[in-house]
Chains A and B, each alone.
Chain A
Amino acid sequence: MNVEEMLKQTPLAVAIKLHTDIFGYPPEFEGRVQLGDPLIASEIHNSIAKREPYMKESPREQQNEDGSITFIDW
């Protein structure tokens, strides 16, 4: 099996493909994602099971409870 095929068969790649096939677009992640990450893959599968697209935002600003703002680099 070549590397490209292996890349396509990691848990995350399988989940992304399933998500894209069902909803027509890939999932959106919050922040930096590890290649093949099985935890996020399971989150995507859970989301698909609920028939909800997996769409996390990566805002570079987050409002805190005290009204202050946190600026983020992932």
Chain B
Amino acid sequence: MRKCIDLDNQPGFQNIYSPEMQQAIDRGLSQAQDEGIKGFSGTGVVNWGYDPEEVVKARPRIKDKSTKPRRKRKDFARTQDETTLANEVRRGFFNVEETANPKGIIAEQVIRTSNVRGMNILNSVLKTNPLNAIQWHGSKSKSSFFGRTTDRASGVEKSMLSMKRGDESYTSQTARHELGHYIDYVLGMALSPLDSREGTRKGNSNFFLSDLHSDFESAFNYEVKRLKLDSRDGRREYIDKVIKDYIVPTQKLSKNRVIKSFSKVLSNTGGMTDIVDAMTGGSWSLRGYGGGHSGSYYSLKSGDYHGNPRLHETFANLFEAWSAKDKDSWERLEDMFPMLTEVFDNTMREYSGIMDTQLNKEL
């Protein structure tokens, strides 16, 4: 049995504001009356309280904050088959302030190319001393970097990654390299709080773990001496040996894996040649092959204020290889620098459960 409703008498009816629906009802009633549909007993006219025909624009919708919670993304979702650790690392990037949306991409690339131990320490560092900002840039002539700036108003130091867009495999390697600097920086704070440092190092966050950890510096110097990199002839001979012993086999290996481009072969050895570049103070770069940093970057003139860039770069490149899913990179470095890699490995294991540091607190 059809039930008829007298709309005019429905409570709250006059508050209904839906011009399209109202006009549709009006058209329906009018049509029913015109056609004399059987059983229709209404007047064919509804008192809406205003003329819906005159309504052109719908009333703007105003969000009701009291009843409708603002939909805000709470964190990065866990992707299919993603481990809990990987998801924690992803979440570690979530609160980073970003320019041009790089953080999701960087998180994805880092998780995809990192091994468990790499994610473990990155997770610890991100939790205790969050990275503050990541930005993309597209400049051809500039490269990626890790930076820190002290906010003038609050006096709080902020850490940031500036990442150059580019080929995915190179970007992921570079991201792990720059995160290596970030970890070196944070662990430096953990080892030696800013206010406990002495001389030019007091309150100076440019000194990282690689500057402050005496075992690391000793191992670096030991390898430099062992490989005779403190003499020009020694540096020349060693670079020749690196090409013969490490790049040639990598090329053969890569050919077997049907990697066509020689640049792909070189990217497999990037971290290694960068360490050679740092240990030789830029002699690799002077060969003219490209790669590494310009010689001026390795100048030790301002080491009392900026820390030692040779140690910083070595640490970042060791982390890049140590944290890589690809085991070849780290095994190659273990073969080349047994003492340094052992000290690095021990240090990373020691600091995987790092304590709180002074970062992100007022200085």
Contacts and interface: CB of A to CB of B under 8 A. Distances in A.
Interface of A: 2-4, 6-8, 10, 12-13, 16-17, 20, 26, 28-43, 56-58, 60, 62, 64, 66-74
Nearest to A19: B288
B263 A67 contact: no
B290 A32 contact: no
A22 to B, nearest CB: 14
B123 interface: no
A69 B141 CA distance: 21
B113 interface: no
Given A4-B243, A39-B140, A43-B140, A20 B146 contact: no
Interface of A is mostly: mixed
Given A32-B274, A35-B266, A8 B288 contact: yes
Interface in B163-186: 166, 170, 174, 177, 181, 185
B141 A56 contact: yes
B289 A68 contact: no
A24 B297 CA distance: 20
Given A35-B266, A35-B267, A64-B149, 17 more contacts: A8-B289, A10-B266, A13-B288, A13-B290, A26-B285, A28-B294, A31-B297, A34-B266, A34-B290, A36-B262, A36-B266, A37-B290, A66-B152, A71-B205, A72-B145, A74-B144, A74-B293
Contact of A71 (B148, B170, B288): B148
A53 to B, nearest CB: 13
A58 B296 contact: yes
A35 B273 contact: yes
B291 interface: yes
A32 B143 contact: yes
A72 to B, nearest CB: 5
Contacts of B150: 68-69
B248 interface: yes
A33 B143 CA distance: 7
Nearest to B185: A73
Interface in B264-278: 266-267, 269-270, 273-274
A41 B95 CA distance: 37
A74 B292 CA distance: 10
20 contacts: A3-B251, A4-B243, A6-B251, A6-B262, A10-B290, A29-B293, A31-B145, A34-B263, A34-B270, A36-B289, A39-B166, A40-B140, A43-B140, A67-B152, A70-B147, A70-B149, A72-B146, A73-B147, A73-B185, A74-B143
| Nearest 7 interchain pairs by C-beta | A31-B143, A12-B290, A35-B291, A35-B266, A70-B149, A7-B289, A73-B181
B152 A68 contact: yes
Nearest to B173: A34
A28 B135 CA distance: 24
Most chain B beta carbons < 10 A, residue from A17, A36, A67, A68: A36
B286 interface: yes
A19 to B, nearest CB: 9
Given A8-B289, A32-B177, A35-B273, A71 B152 contact: no
A69 B205 CA distance: 13
A73 B289 CA distance: 22
Contacts of A38: 263
A37 B262 CA distance: 11
The interface centre, meaning the residue of B263, B292, B296, B306 with most chain A CB atoms within 10 A of its CB, is: B263
B186 to A, nearest CB: 13
A74 B140 contact: no
